């Protein structure tokens, strides 16, 4: 007998040039899903949704072939590389229509897939969001571990609510996803937005492993851009800091002015050159920093105002809605209209 009350779970996996690791990921996740279904934790309609984020290797071919063989495997192919966060969102929004809950996980199996079972149990207990939190970061490099820790501290100081050591490994209910959809911003930083949604949530701890195969798709450049995005998408603190520095410089210049006048009265006027050149450089530098920070926000306003779509779906093996290219259709219609 099929129990209709069991939740439909979709596991969403963004993939960018993951041909080396994908076959193993598919194998392990399919096994996990089958166990969950057999143990009556999730519905038999549950599936795995792989989002190909414009890969240049055989990633999409692997997904397509598996889709033919393995009934759990569904795929979504983005028309270009939209970035991890956008690819993830594309998958979550597609999955939302046909699932009661979704779990997002990276393709490299660094996150312990066995805790997905605990996620589902927490969901059964009434949690709308379940965060996977890394217990240790032994497998990360010294540099990555410490920059990450410093970053969480810094964000907290700025008043940004992040779950420390939580990447994008989490469960979200349909209700939470519907709320997420209402956040229309283009500069997407999911880790910051999701705690803003609310609903009851839980944390599950696990050990993060080494990447199974392939290499990180997050080089230092992308990591820095991502970290900066997190700050400027959620906080105006950098602008405040610039204002504060501005005040400091203003007070300092009053003092320096008094000093210069006293020096002049005392007749030591020629000694002013050093202080003059230093203040010119100092103020020039501060102005440049200020302009840079303001520019960062103007850049954000610019992209929000343009309102560009965040991604375009090319092929959809998930909802089976065929998106035909513009010229496919009935040519007779065109002929009729031209008459
Ligand atoms: N990813 C993506 N688009 C990108 C970069 C990465 O979809 O432009 C995916 C990637 O395939 C992986 C996940 O995002 O599933 C996390 O990337 P990665 O494991 O390389 O990051 P790290 O764990 O090193 O921070
Ligand atoms: Mg990884």
Question: Which of 181, 133, 168, 236 is closest to 14 using CA atoms?
Answer: 168
Query: What order of strands is seen across the sheet that includes strand 313-316?
Result: 201-206, 129-134, 170-173, 101-104, 9-15, 47-52, 73-78, 313-316
Report the distance separating Cα 160 and Cα 230, nearest Å.
9
Q: What is the dihedral of CA 277, 283, 286, 292, to 10 degrees?
A: -100
310, pLDDT greater than 80: no
Q: What long-range pairs does 82-86 form, CB within 8 A, spacing at least 24?
A: 82/53, 82/54, 82/310, 82/311, 83/53, 84/14, 84/16, 84/53, 84/168, 84/217, 84/218, 85/168, 85/188, 85/189, 85/190, 86/53, 86/188, 86/310, 86/311
Pocket of ligand 1 (CB under 6 A): 14-16, 18, 53, 81, 83-84, 87, 106-108, 110, 216-218
Distance 108 CA to ligand 1 centre (A): 8
Helix (H, G, I), strand (E, B) or coil at 225: helix
Neighbours of ion ligand 2 (CB under 5 A): 106, 108, 110
CB-count exposure of residue 293 (10 Å: 0-12, 13-18, 19+): middle
**Ligand 1 pocket test target in 58, 167, 217, 221 with most atoms within 8 Å of CB:** 217
Q: Are 75 and 317 in contact (CB under 8 A)?
A: yes
Percent share of the chain, pLDDT over 70? 89
Q: What is the pLDDT of residue 14?
A: 96
Q: Is the pLDDT of residue 117 over 90?
A: yes
For CA atoms 117, 151, 149, 51, the dihedral sign is positive
Residue in the structure block whose two tokens are 């598996």: 66
Name the closest-CA residue to atom 7, ligand 1: 84
273-295 pLDDT, tens per residue?
667 766 777 787 788 778 878 87
Nearest-5° angle of CA 156, CA 130, CA 225?
45
Does residue 246 surpass a pLDDT of 50?
A: yes
| Ligand in closest contact with the CA of 217 | 1
Q: Which two tokens stand for residue 224?
A: 């820095």
* DSSP character at residue 140: S
pLDDT digits (tens, 9 = 90+) for 175-184: 899 888 888 8
Query: What pairing do the DSSP bridges indicate for beta strands 73-78 and 313-316?
Result: antiparallel
Residue 174's pLDDT band, with cuts at 50, 70 and 90, is very high
Q: Binning pLDDT at 50, 70 and 90, where does residue 46 land?
A: very high
Structure tokens at 205: 């701890």
- Average confidence score pLDDT of the chain: 83
- Mean pLDDT (whole number) for 196-215: 85
The residue nearest atom 19 of ligand 1, judged by CA position, is 216
């Amino acid at each position: 007998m099929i129990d209709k009350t069991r939740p439909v779970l979709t596991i969403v996996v963004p993939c960018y040039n993951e041909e080396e690791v994908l076959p193993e990921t598919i194998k392990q996740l399919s096994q996990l899903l089958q166990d969950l279904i057999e143990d009556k934790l999730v519905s038999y309609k549950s599936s795995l949704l792989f989002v190909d984020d414009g890969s240049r290797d055989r990633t999409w071919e692997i997904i397509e072939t598996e889709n033919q063989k393995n009934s759990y495997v569904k795929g979504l192919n983005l028309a270009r590389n939209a970035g991890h966060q956008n690819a993830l969102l594309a998958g979550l929004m597609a999955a939302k229509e046909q699932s009661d809950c979704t779990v997002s996980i990276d393709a490299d199996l660094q996150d312990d897939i066995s805790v997905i079972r605990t996620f589902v149990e927490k969901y059964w207990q009434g949690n709308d969001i379940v965060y996977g939190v890394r217990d240790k970061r032994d497998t990360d490099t010294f540099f990555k571990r410490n920059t990450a820790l410093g970053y969480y501290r810094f964000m907290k100081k700025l008043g940004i609510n992040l779950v420390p050591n939580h990447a994008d490994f989490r469960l979200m209910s349909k209700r939470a996803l519907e709320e997420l959809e209402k956040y229309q911003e283009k500069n997407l930083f999911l880790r910051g937005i999701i705690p803003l949604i609310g609903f009851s949530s839980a944390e599950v701890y696990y050990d993060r492993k080494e990447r199974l195969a392939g290499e990180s798709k997050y080089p230092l450049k992308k990591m820095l851009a991502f970290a900066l995005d997190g700050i400027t998408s959620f906080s105006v603190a950098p602008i405040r800091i610039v204002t504060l520095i501005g005040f400091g410089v203003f007070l300092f210049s009053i003092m320096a002015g008094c000093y210069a006048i006293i020096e002049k009265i005392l007749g030591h006027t020629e000694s002013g050159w050093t202080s003059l050149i230093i203040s010119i450089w100092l103020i020039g530098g501060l102005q440049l920093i200020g302009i840079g920070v303001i520019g960062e926000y103007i850049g954000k306003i610019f992209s929000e105002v343009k309102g560009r779509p965040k991604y375009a779906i090319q092929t959809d093996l998930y909802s089976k809605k065929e998106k035909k290219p513009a010229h496919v259709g009935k040519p007779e219609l065109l002929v009729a209209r031209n008459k």
